[in-house]
Amino acid sequence: MNKQPLRKVRVNLEEHGYDILIGEKWLEQLAIYLNFISNSSKLMLISDRNVYALAGEKVLHILREAGFQVHSAVLPGGEGCKNLTVMSWLYEQMLGFGLDRKSTVLALGGGIVGDVAGFAAATYMRGIGYIQIPTTLLALVDSSVGGKTGVNLPQGKNLVGAFYQPGLVFADLNFINSLPEKEYLTGLAEVIKYGIIWDKELFNYLEENRNKVISRDRSCLTGIVARCCEIKAEIVGQDEKESGLRALLNLGHTFGHAFEALTGYKGFTHGEAVAVGMIYAARLAVVRGLISRSQSDRIASLIENYGLPVSYGDLSAGDIIDSMYRDKKTVAGKIKFIVPTGIGVSEVVSDVAEEQLLQILKL
C-alpha cells in the first residue's frame, strides 16, 4: 500500500525547487518517490557506519527490489571524516562503481553524511543528482534542507563547499527513535534557533511543551520538524546563497564554530556549541541595547531547561576571539554576528569591537 507523507514542504527555488516529504515508518516507500530517476541509472548510497548498521542493508534492498543498480560507500562517521581525504576516497569509489553524469547519490545519515555526500554529488563530474535521507534531528530540521554542502579544512569548518540543492528530502521520523540523547539534544538546539530568529510561537511552544518534546512525543515532533523545514524553506527560498537573510540561520554559529574548533571538535557536539553561542549572541544584543535582559534570560533559560550547555567551560576568551577572526564568515576583517532583537526576530551586526566581545565573553 502506498503510504502518504504526513507533511510536505516545498522549497521554492527558480530552477531547482524540491519537496521535503516527512513521514513515519515509511522507508519502504522510498523507491516510489524516486520515480523521477530512471532505474537504468546507477545509485550510490553514502552513509556512516552507525547508520549503515541501522538501515543501510534495508535501503539497498528496497532500491534493488525496485530495479535500481545501487552501490554503497560507508564513511567512518564523525566530524573527523568531513575532509578532503575522505572526499578523494569517495570519488574513487564513485569512479570504481562506474557512476556517470546520470547517476544519483543518496545521503543516508546525519549532517556529516549529508554535507560530504552532497559535496561529492556537487563536484563529481561537475555535478550529479542527490537525495537527502536525514537520520538525525539536526539533519531533519536543518542540514538536509537548503543545499549547503562541504567539508572542513585543518584551518576551520566548512571552508570548502558548494551550494547545491538535493532533488528530494525524504524524511522518516522513525530514525529519531534510535538517536542517542546527546544527538537528539544537538538537533533541539537548532530547533530552538528557529524559534529565536524567526518564530515566537515556536519558541513559546518549546517553553510550554518541554516534557513532550524531550520525550520525543511523535505528534509534537512531526509539527516541530515540519515547522523548522517550513522556516528554512522560506528563508532559503528568499536567499539561496546567503547574500542577506539566510545569514540569520547562523545565530550562535560564529561563537559555536570557535568552541568546536578550540576543543578539536570533541568538546561539544555542533548543536551544543551553537546553544552556548546563542546565549553569547543574546548577551551581545543586551550590551548593544538591542534586546532586554529579561528576553535574553528567557533565551538562556530555554536552552538550559532543555539540558543543553550554557557555558564554554575553560576556553580562553582571547582564543575564542582569535578563532572567530579566522572563521570564513569574516568579511573584510569584520566578524558578522547574528543577534536576537526580541523573541522570534533577529538581525546581523558587523561592527562589534574586540573589547565588546571580551566584555561579553567574560560575563
Ligand X SMILES: NC(=O)c1ccc[n+]([C@@H]2O[C@H](COP(=O)([O-])OP(=O)(O)OC[C@H]3O[C@@H](n4cnc5c(N)ncnc54)[C@H](O)[C@@H]3O)[C@@H](O)[C@H]2O)c1
Nearer to ligand X, 162 or 317 (CB): 162
Residues in the chain: 363
Nearest 5°: the CA angle 186, 310, 303 is: 55
Residue type, 144: S
Q: Which is nearer to ligand X, 82 or 283 (CB)?
A: 82
Tell me which stretch binds ligand X (CB under 6 A): 71-79, 194-202, 238-246, 349-357: 71-79
CB neighbour list of residue 321: distance below 8 Å, 6 or more residues apart: 258, 354, 357, 358, 361
Q: Which of residues 186-245 bind ligand X (CB under 6 A)?
A: 186
Write the CA distances from 11 to 7, 54, 107, 146, 199, integer angstroms.
13, 29, 18, 8, 18
Q: How far, in Å, CA of 249 to CA of 310, rounded?
A: 19
| Residues 6+ positions from 240 with CB-CB distance below 8 Å | 13, 146, 147, 163, 165, 246
CB of 188 to ligand X, least distance (A): 11
Q: Which residue number, 103 or 143, has a Cβ lying nearer to ligand X?
A: 143
Q: Indicate whether 108 belongs to the interface with ligand X (CB under 6 A).
A: no
By the rule CB under 6 A, 50 interacts with ligand X? yes
| 334 marked as binding residue | no
Identify which of residues 51 and 284 has a Cβ nearer to ligand X in the complex.
Answer: 51
255 touches ligand X (CB under 6 A): no
- Looking at residue 45, its amino acid is L
| Cα–Cα distance, 171 to 344 (Å, whole number) | 26
Q: Which residue has the cell 515509511?
A: 26
Shortest distance (Å) from residue 236 CB to ligand X: 9
Span near ligand X by CB under 6 A; candidates 19-27, 172-180, 200-208, 289-297: 172-180
87 binds ligand X (CB under 6 A): no
Is residue 173 within 8 Å of residue 221, measured between CB atoms? yes
Q: Quick one: 29 or 149, whose CB is closer to ligand X?
A: 149
Using CB under 6 A, pick the residue from 109, 195, 256, 277 that binds ligand X. 109
Q: Which of 5, 56, 111, 309 binds ligand X (CB under 6 A)?
A: 111
Alpha-carbon torsion 272, 136, 165, 226, what sign?
negative
Q: 270 or 298: whose CB is closer to ligand X?
A: 270
Nearest approach, Cβ of residue 83 and ligand X (Å): 11
83: left (phi over 0), alpha (psi -120 to 50) or beta: beta
> Smallest gap, in angstroms, from Cβ of residue 280 to ligand X?
18
Q: Which of 101, 111, 43, 100 is nearest to 75 (CA)?
A: 111
The answer to whether residues 340 and 194 touch, using CB atoms and an 8 Å cutoff, is no
- The dihedral over CA atoms of 202, 205, 209, 214, expressed in degrees to the nearest 10, equals 10
**Which residues, 267 to 306, sit near ligand X by CB under 6 A?**
270
Residue list 127-156, contact with ligand X (CB under 6 A): 135-136, 138-139, 142-143, 146, 148
Contact between 340 and ligand X by CB under 6 A: the answer reads no
54 interacts with ligand X by CB under 6 A:
yes
- 70 neighbors 20 (Cβ within 8 angstroms): no
Residue 345 CB, shortest distance to ligand X, in Å, is 21
Residues near ligand X (CB under 6 A) are 48, 50-51, 54, 77-79, 82, 109-113, 115, 135-136, 138-139, 142-143, 146, 148, 158, 175, 178-179, 183, 186, 270
Binding residues for Zn(2+): 190, 253, 270
